[in-house]
Amino acid sequence: MAKPAPSRRPPSALRAFLDNEAAGGLVLMGAAALALVVANSPLAPAYFGALKTYLGPLSLGHWINDGLMAVFFLFVGLEIKREVLDGQLSSGPRRILPGLAAVGGMVVPAGIYAALNRGNMEALAGWAIPSATDIAFALGVLSLLGSRVPVSLKVFLTALAIIDDLGAVLIIAAFYTANVSLLDLGLAAAVLAALIAMNRFGVARLLPYLLLGALLWVLVLRSGIHATIAGVALALIIPLRPSPGAVEHEESPLHRLEHALARPVAFLVVPVFGFANAGVPLLGLSWEVLAQPVTLGIALGLSVGKLVGVFGAAAFAIRFGLADVPMGAGWGQLVGVSLLCGIGFTMSLFIGLLAFPDSEALQNQAKIGILAGSLVSGLAGYLVLRVAPRDVPAPDDPARRAARQHG
């Protein structure tokens, strides 16, 4: 009698996330390239004029950077919470390698930038710009390589970028906050308390959370703290029903919201942000702009600092037995992924706007540094991963074979 066909396991949220983000990264590349073309074409006055046009209380640029990006940060917060409680970062051993690599990848680039801009207090405000990793762009590059890159490295890069995003959120909250309105901050705290109470009382419908979340965004915007922090705060309160070792609960409010936001964030929110902020007028600029400390600090921080920080910290953890090389990956591939971490596009652009709110010249230097550093990192990472051999375990290695089967 024929055996029944084995039931197929539904795709995990992580695999769906990887697929969406990879494709979204390619769309983001196109949006960034289009922004550069438009900003250096006869359409430039209309492009920059539209971003400064006011729609109600905010300009279009502010609606994108403060409003639309709050949705991006909501999605980031959902990812962080899910991965920490119920995913690739849910246990100590799983956090060690991407955690140390993420810390190294934030500290070394910031150090390079600070060293090149020492003595200039205005420029030093941009120290965090090269510390960010753009997961959409990086996974977009990985998607071009197909099966040359093992899934374990994609998971490592995803976990590292999520920890990196958490670091960026903390940096924004701690270092890029303007004068605070205590009244609005107090009202925001009251709304936050109401959201926490809803979670505690088991409210599972998303609509009440989203309505209070919108009010929280308005109050945080008025308080002087950057409005995108409201998205992260809301995400951390959305209820999650953990399911270790099993397919994610589709009925969990966090999973429902994350799945609903995945495609709009990947294919609308991030590309629109990239198009609105990647446009740098290059006509008339001299090559000397590349030698400016801000430009050079960001470009070297991303292309060199990320490689040294990520790979150095990962190699340290592996060398001293704190973690293992990702399954099926070789050292050369780890170098390639470390290079891809130097693609800092979305979050780097965002921090650059916060660091230099009153200086268009410094903003443009930062954008050129981000574009140059990200381009070098992306190309170098792609080339290294294209030629680097995979570490394929020997078929008679039972330990590695068992680990692969249960991983």
Helices (H), 117-181: 121-124, 135-145, 151-175
Residue 378 lies in a domain: yes
Q: What is the pLDDT of residue 142?
A: 80
pTM for this entry: 0.76
Residue 337 lies in a domain: yes
Dist CA 301 CA 53 (whole Å) = 34
Q: Which domain holds residue 100?
A: 64-177+226-390
Residues in a beta bridge with 54: 59
Using the 8-state DSSP alphabet, how is residue 303 labeled? I
Residue 151 lies in a domain: yes
Q: Which residue has the tokens 């309105």?
A: 181
Q: What is the pLDDT of residues 141-160, one digit of tens each?
A: 887 787 778 878 888 888 88
- Straight-line distance from the first to the last Cα atom of the chain, in angstroms, rounded to the nearest whole number: 32
In a 3-state reduction of DSSP, which class is residue 208?
helix
45-54 exposure pattern, b = at least 16 Cβ within 10 A, e = fewer: eebeeebeee
Closest CA to 133 of 342, 296, 339: 342
Residue 216 lies in a domain: no
For the record, the structure tokens of 310 come out as 């990520």
Q: What is the pLDDT of residues 16-64, one digit of tens each?
A: 555 555 677 778 888 988 998 999 999 999 999 999 999 988 899 989 9
Dist CA 338 CA 341 (whole Å) = 5
Q: What is the pLDDT of residues 79-106, one digit of tens each?
A: 888 887 877 677 777 788 999 999 999 9
Dist CA 193 CA 186 (whole Å) = 10
Residue 37 lies in a domain: no
Residues in a beta bridge with 58: 55
CATH number of the domain encompassing residue 87: 1.20.1530.10
Distances (CA, A) of 275 to 84, 185, 257, 269: 31, 32, 25, 10
8 A C-beta contact, residue 212 and residue 195? yes
Residue 185 lies in a domain: no
Q: What is the pLDDT of residue 16?
A: 57
Residue 109 lies in a domain: yes
Q: Pick out the chain residues at pLDDT < 50.
A: 1-10, 245-249, 392-407
Dist CA 10 CA 248 (whole Å) = 9
Dist CA 8 CA 322 (whole Å) = 35
For the record, the structure tokens of 23 come out as 């494709």
Sign of CA dihedral 84, 90, 91, 95: negative
Number of structural domains in the chain = 1
For the record, the structure tokens of 249 come out as 């609960």
Q: What is the pLDDT of residue 194?
A: 96
Q: What is the pLDDT of residue 405?
A: 44
Q: What is the pLDDT of residue 48?
A: 92
Using the 8-state DSSP alphabet, how is residue 43 labeled? T
Neighbour count for residue 333 (Cβ, 10 Å) = 25
Q: What is the pLDDT of residue 199?
A: 93
Dist CA 172 CA 345 (whole Å) = 16
Using the 8-state DSSP alphabet, how is residue 159 labeled? H
Q: What is the pLDDT of residue 1?
A: 47
Within 8 A by CB and 6+ apart from 219, the residues are 184, 185, 187, 188, 191, 230
In a 3-state reduction of DSSP, which class is residue 322?
coil
If you count them, how many residues does the chain have? 407
Residue 189 lies in a domain: no
